[in-house]
Amino acid sequence: MPCAANIRETRMAIGFEDQADVLTPNIAAEMISFTKLNESLAELTPVTEDDSAWIGKGDEFATQSFLSSWGVQVSIEKYCSSQFLAQTIVYALGHFVKTTAGTGFAYTCTPADPVVDCIEMKPFSYLEAIRQGGSYVLDRVFVGMAVEEFQVILSSGPGLNNSRVTATYVGTGKYIEPSLISVPAITTENILGGVSVTLTVNGVDYVTSHNIVSCQFGWKNNIRLDSGYFPGSGTQDPSDPASGAVRGRMEFGNRVANMQFVARFVNGSPELATLRAQSTGTAVVTLTGALISAGNFHGLSCTFHKVAFKSAVIGSTDGIVTVTVDITPIKDSVTGLVTMVVTTDLDNVGS
């Protein structure tokens, strides 16, 4: 009798290089293996339809069922690391320039330009396995994945939990089982702890003043999922037209950047005045990790080039009076909307 599987046996890997095309999976050498915090597995969703509403049958009861289409969603929760953030941000924003940083690499990421870069997102594969081999519990690779959204969450308190990232992938629905890909050895990740954070918004340094409580920022692509199915987009089994449709393209829709922070509200705090005046300035958040080589550290720098305050709500956190500020990122005519720079030792991300 087979033994029950523990969820902690799950092995995962993501492609850090582009697939050859949206329906061709990465190979093992193009993937990194990682650990995560949440227990949820990939949500593979076969969609069926029936003939219950068809006219001519004489009643409202279904007599046939059809496999219509496939979809997939993956949710990842992790402590922030330079390697995972590099893959996530490169594939989420869509445009990047890589430069050397000592013995490491800096990926300067900006939102893809629909005219220059087009709206097609960079595709990668996601591998999920439990007990790979002849009697595997799970061994499947999802093909043509894209980053739908991510959120970096920086909070007060001790431990690794003060610097977390959540990411959501969606895909074409195409999967291969067994995957035929051996899960690579787990990648050594370099953690970017919350105690390293610097935060300056509209000229106010919230860390130096000791007033910062928490901060979060992120990106959402609003991928055009329905239009991914088009005449000729493909089926799960190319030799079987009845095996269910898969998406043949993954394109971003109306993209949204977001940022919020909570700070202690003291005499002279400028947030309400900034909101009333709709003053604009920059917002810069940085995270710093271990040394890569002389003068170069694992890290993340996020710059919103022009921001206004959407709201500033007075409340309390742990009994201390605080203000929660929602920020509206604004595209500057010269510097653009946002630039995120991830420095890491992982090469070839997004290549």
Q: Give residue for tokens 């949440």.
A: 38
Distance between CA atoms of residues 285 and 302, nearest Å: 5
CB 332 within 8 A of CB 304: no
Segment 208-213 shows an average pLDDT of 96
- What was the pLDDT predicted at 243? 98
Q: Would you say residue 47 has pLDDT above 90?
A: yes
- What was the pLDDT predicted at 63? 97
Q: Give residue for tokens 């970096």.
A: 152
DSSP per-residue codes, 211-237: -EEEEEEEEE-----GGG--TT--BSS
- What was the pLDDT predicted at 79? 98
327: closest CA among 347, 342, 344, 305? 305
pTM (2 d.p.): 0.96
- What was the pLDDT predicted at 287? 98
- What was the pLDDT predicted at 2? 85
Q: Which helix (H) or strand (E) holds 337?
A: none
Segment 314-334 shows an average pLDDT of 97
**CB under 8 Å to 278, separation ≥6 — which residues?**
308, 309
Helix, strand or coil, per DSSP, at residue 52: coil
Burial 22-34 (b: 16+ CB within 10 A, else e): bbebbeeebbbbb
Tokens encoding 157? 């308190």
Report pLDDT digits (tens) over 139-150. 999 999 999 999
- Please count the other Cβ atoms lying within 10 Å of the Cβ belonging to residue 278: 10
Helix, strand or coil, per DSSP, at residue 191: strand
Q: Give residue for tokens 């002279």.
A: 268
Q: Are strands 104-111 and 124-130 parallel, antiparallel or unpaired?
A: unpaired
